[in-house]
Structure 1
Amino acid sequence: MGKVLFLRKKMQGENSIEEIAFNLVAAIPDLKLLELPEYGTSLKGILKNILFVRRNSSDINHFFSSSDTYLIPFCTGKKIVTWHDVGTDFYTRSKTKRWIKKYLLRYLPMLFCDVITCISSSTYNEVLSEFPKVKKKLTIIPNPYNPVFKRTEQSITEIPLILHIGTGSHKNLERVIEALSDIKCQLFIVGRLSSVQLTLLRKYKIDYYNEFDVPFSRIVELYKQCTIVSFPSLYEGFGMPVIEANAVGRPILTSKVGAIPEVAQEAAYYVDPHSVVEIKAAFNFLLSHKEVCDDLIQKGLCNAEKYSIEKIAWQYQKIYTQLL
């Protein structure tokens, strides 16, 4: 039985989906990983990817990103696609572009699919809302965390280090910057900063460090070095930083939006992501209440166990077996 996991061409600075795919391939016997040759954002790139898939399709063909759904009709064997989120995937001012993306590149190809996995109930409901006719093909399999994220004792530092992963608009960095004004801490930001964000950092006199296009090994080290993980996101299809913080043993400040409450359960400190006042109060509270942080850490370690690579790989392996 041949099994292939097709992975989108890696973009600079992207780590999350790629690392999950690498771990699944390592955990599932005989699962072969193939990276698509092009991004698929141009006609030339799409055609190259189609030819690549036709040459390399196998008994089981698993497309690990919904952006590659358009390739499903061009391979033989059984077909699976994983949706990580819907987000703003179909939002565009052009009705023609929206129709092409939603129906020609997503919906019609999914009719040729055998199984559609969603990484959370939130993503499941979003996909179902957009494509109700594929309901019978939908199932939920959450993301696993990389086993390199292990419980690590915090180093005692004079100034707490706040780790913020991501600088996209939905990562809510602007409100975090404002919330941290007058709080004695260092803010470590992973991701390329915009001119607006740089202006805010200067305006509020934030002591910060910034790295982008960061290798995965560096991200792991940053989790271990930090005091608190900042993740008051405005939207998430899953929210890997929640589980990564849980696994390392760091308290995480986050929001009850998208899939985050489903994933984090009681292993996070929640805020209204639209309220700078509430975010600021939460940082102050966590930095001054060690017993609360210790409780969140213990709950986080238990929560992370549900997302081990062994448990998630078994769920995918079960689907592969059922299809043959």
Structure 2
Amino acid sequence: MLKIAVDEGPLKSGDRVRGIGVYTRELLKALKIEGVDVSGSDLSKYDVIHFTRFNPFFISIPFKKPEHVKFVLTIYDLIPLIYPDHYPPGIKGMINWQINKFLIRKNIDAVITISETSKKDICRFIGINSNKIHVTYLAPRPIFKKDTSSMPEVAKHYGLPECFALYVGDVNYNKNIPNLVKSCKIAKIPLVIVGKQAFEVENLDLEHPELSHLKNIDWSGVLRLGFVPDEDLVKIYNLADVYVQPSLYEGFGLPVLEANAAGIPVVSSKTQALVEIAEDAVLFANPESPEDFAEKIKLLLNDSKLKNELIQKGSENAKKYSWEKTANETYKIYSKIA
């Protein structure tokens, strides 16, 4: 039996409520093992060390590697490198990026990523052989399903409109929030955003290059709920009339699958990973065109046959993904390199 250490670091930081935390928590649960504080442990007693957090502009990998121990690294995406003007690394960040590339080539035995889209980016930016990179998809958690219980109470608690479009996530540049807001205004449908960043936008430095795209947004008609616990979030998905994913670029796009699993029709950007994971289970729109998004939103609101068809396809699509499958594929990678 392999001795495996999966880094629990993301569960001890602000990442715990983000995608990195979901990945680490659900992977550990499906592998049926406890996480390890790799920064404070004797790594030599393990066969495989799995690092689950990577930022290109911060040193993410140990400089020293114990003999006979194999290193696995999960890289979710390299979006900061795709939009450098909006994610400026600074001099220190660029130096760290060069060090990270060196350490990946020298010490990492296998890279795991979450889509074929991200795999291509990793090959391009880091310059490692594609045979070293393995794709294991994320999955919606079991809690995300059709659930109409307690919906009136949740709607009242959060002050939700009777009809609304939903977006769940951060407000980084690649999320395309300005066009999301514009599209819902054009479609004349209230927008509900779940996520800590949008809730706190007035307290953020919008002069910073990573946030400057938010400066001139008209937030009227937008209900920003902040962080919402999963038990309520699944109800909010079920209350929504349409889920909208307007991203310019994604490494995966987990909320699309969560909406699929909850039985909510989706309008999504026709871009890279979102096409890869959603296939024909969503209505695609041009992320550069709020008018196109608005048209697709209105089409779903007015065409019950299309809406029901996408709900059915979405339900089937969500079933293709599970954390058990992800864990099994991950363990095969551990076994292969060990």
TM-score (norm 2): 0.80
Counterpart CA distance in 2 for 1:296 and 1:72 is: 48
Partner letter of residue 95 of structure 2?
A: I
* Residue 237 of structure 2, aligned match among 223, 232, 243: 223
Task: Summarize the Cα distance change of 1:84–1:187 in structure 2 as closer, same or farther, 3 Å threshold.
Answer: same
Which residues of 2 match residues 94-105 of structure 1 at below 5 A? 96-105=91-100
1:87 aligns with 2:89: no
The DSSP-based 3-state class of the residue aligned with 2:192 is strand
Counterpart in the other structure of 2:210: none
Counterpart in the other structure of 2:29: 26
Counterpart in the other structure of 1:70: 61
Out of 295-304 and 133-142, give the one that drifted further. 133-142
Contact 1:159 1:184 in 2 (8 A): no
Task: Summarize the Cα distance change of 1:159–1:225 in structure 2 as closer, same or farther, 3 Å threshold.
Answer: closer
Which residues of 2 match residues 119-138 of structure 1 at below 5 A? 119-138=114-133
Counterpart in the other structure of 2:266: 252
Task: Summarize the Cα distance change of 1:57–1:243 in structure 2 as closer, same or farther, 3 Å threshold.
Answer: farther
Q: CA deviation at 1:228?
A: 0.9
Contact 1:164 1:231 in 2 (8 A): yes
Partner letter of residue 201 of structure 1?
A: D
1:201 aligns with 2:215: no
Identity over aligned pairs, percent: 25
TM-score (norm 1): 0.84
Partner letter of residue 139 of structure 2?
A: P
Counterpart in the other structure of 2:3: 2
Task: Summarize the Cα distance change of 1:243–1:88 in structure 2 as closer, same or farther, 3 Å threshold.
Answer: same
Deviations 1:23-54 (A, max 9, x none): 2211113x321356xxxxxxxxxxxx4xx254
Which residues of 2 match residues 135-154 of structure 1 at below 5 A? 135-152=130-147
Counterpart in the other structure of 1:159: 162
Out of 8-17 and 260-269, give the one that drifted further. 8-17
Contact 1:72 1:109 in 2 (8 A): no
Counterpart CA distance in 1 for 2:275 and 2:89 is: 33
The answer for unaligned runs of 5 or more in structure 1 is 37-48
Q: CA deviation at 1:219?
A: 2.7
Partner letter of residue 163 of structure 1?
A: L
Counterpart CA distance in 1 for 2:44 and 2:302 is: 56
Contact 2:23 2:138 in 1 (8 A): yes
* Residue 173 of structure 2, aligned match among 169, 179, 182: 169
Q: CA deviation at 1:234?
A: 0.9
Counterpart in the other structure of 1:58: 46
Contact 1:60 1:79 in 2 (8 A): yes
Q: CA deviation at 1:5?
A: 1.0
The DSSP-based 3-state class of the residue aligned with 1:24 is helix
Task: Summarize the Cα distance change of 1:190–1:100 in structure 2 as closer, same or farther, 3 Å threshold.
Answer: same
Counterpart CA distance in 2 for 1:54 and 1:105 is: 22
Counterpart CA distance in 1 for 2:102 and 2:140 is: 29
1:241 aligns with 2:259: no
The answer for unaligned runs of 5 or more in structure 2 is 156-160, 207-213
Counterpart in the other structure of 2:191: 187
